[in-house]
Chain A
Amino acid sequence: MTAPPSPVTVTGTTVFSKDLWNNGPAALDAWMRDPPRTVLAQTVAQSIPNNADTPIALDKVIYDNYNGRNAGGTTWTAPAAGVYLVTGLSNLAWTGAGNCFVGTHLTVVGKTTWAASEQPSNPGPVRFQFSLAALMPLAAGDGVQLRIYQNSGTAQPTGFVTGGCRLTARWIAL
């Protein structure tokens, strides 16, 4: 776990020191340039079962500066408290029937769904791709997931036409 820098105020005739500088201007700039963040992608197809909101396994780490991705790739854990900008891209190949629906969710595990898009499957395309974004207030240790739901009656695979599922998260403020 980590936290953003917290420069101290000084009084009187305090002389600038190495620590004042390193924990102030230098630390703030470093944090602003590279706050806790991740870019994860899926490169291996995943079966999404019928009627189950399923976390997407994101097997490829494009960036993850605090190693927040779990071993299965289904959850990214926030290393610091704050407001995060989270985006998700889903891709579900579709051979299911009409009169069903497909949904994508950005969810904090055990807490809140902050963004969702759900769409009827009729008229049915050959794939469903949704782009979501949300501002999420997270505690250190909160887990973020991109989930897909479908109720076609049978399992459906994630897809890769135009690119597979992605999840990004970025700390933006306390």
Chain B
Amino acid sequence: MSANPIRPAPRPQIRNIHIADLLRYRLPVPGVVSILHRVSGLGLFLMLPLLLWLFDLSLASERSYDRLVAWCDNLIVRLVLAGLGWALLHHLCAGIRFLLMDLHLGTERAAATRSAWAVFAVSLPLALLVALFLLGAI
């Protein structure tokens, strides 16, 4: 090894925060949109068997369709579907935001914060509508 005559100053070390710091760490709104995009995506993936099974029931025959409708009378099923509705809507809205940012639209900090709020402003009321529909309120 040849000696390096130039000693660089020690660089600041950047580390991941400890898992115990997660609750105290104030994530900025775009960060919340981002992590929820991931959470909703994983949730949709994990619920894929349920969704495909429901799709199968809905199409296989008139009788299976009726079975699906009867099955959806269950409150827990409705709550799960409402949760999946939120997951899809959040994933969709946040995904469109990310696609626009990939096109270099709205990457300034102020614009990014605004669009992050816009994701919630669109996805949450729509998810509420889906939930109210599923729970029979509308």
A binds B: no
**Chain B interface (Cβ within 8 Å of chain A)?**
none
